[in-house]
Amino acid sequence: MGIDPGSRITGYGIIDVTKNKTCWVNSGCIRTPDEALPIRLKSIFRGLSEIIAEYQPTEMAIEKVFMHRNPDSALKLGQARGTAICVVANQDIPVHEYTPREIKQAIVGKGNATKVQMQHMVRVLLGLDKFPQEDAADALAIALCRAHLRVSLQNFEQAVSNQTLVSSKNKIDLKAMNVFKRSARKRRTRL
């Protein structure tokens, strides 16, 4: 499950990942009422709780906070993000965080991709008939980023176990590999 948090619109995207194949499951937006921030955060909490109960994701990915031009907007975004993380963490679902640049790099191949390029690649990668709404597309991109990085880590783990990467020039931190190994054990993952 990918989440694109916002105090007014929170996008979500759910995909299934089986080996190297990703399939769209659902995506959409939670639109909060035009009321005080606590009421909007409550709406996000309830909406995500319902989605998690229905689709039972096994992992969640979310964008890391970055500083907006407006500090008030950044604080509201941080609160919406914190609400989303609390909902997921309360269900004991692992949370993965990625910067906007990492997400764009994983989906489009360049860290300064535009919103239009991101929407296009999400549509292509998931075989969708039409472009998803912008916030839903961002959430699907976040989920796809996690899926791509997960596959890369699994391939890396396999290469290390086959000792194809081990040489006198390459020193691999096996402690870090054990962390990747534990996170990559499931065959099918719902993000």
Per-residue pLDDT of the chain (191 residues), as tens digits, is 999 999 999 999 999 998 778 999 999 999 999 999 999 999 999 999 999 999 999 999 999 877 667 888 888 889 999 999 999 999 999 999 999 999 999 999 988 999 899 999 999 999 999 999 999 999 999 999 999 887 666 666 666 666 544 444 455 555 555 555 555 555 566 67
Which pLDDT score, from 0 to 100, does residue 150 have?
Answer: 77
> Domain extents for the chain?
2-190
CATH of domain 2-190: 3.30.420.10
Structure tokens at 106: 């994983």
Q: Does the annotation mark 63 as catalytic?
A: yes
Which pLDDT score, from 0 to 100, does residue 149 have?
Answer: 83
**What type of residue is 93?**
I
Q: Does the annotation mark 34 as catalytic?
A: no
Name the H helices within 56-185.
71-90, 100-107, 115-126, 134-161, 174-183
> pLDDT, tens digit, for every residue of 125-152?
999 999 999 999 999 999 999 998 876 6
Out of 63, 92, 97, 157, pick the active-site residue: 63
Distance CA 112, CA 109 (A): 9
Q: Does the annotation mark 173 as catalytic?
A: no
How many C-beta neighbours within 10 Å does residue 131 have? 13
* pTM, 2 dp: 0.81
Out of 129, 135, 138, 173, pick the active-site residue: 135
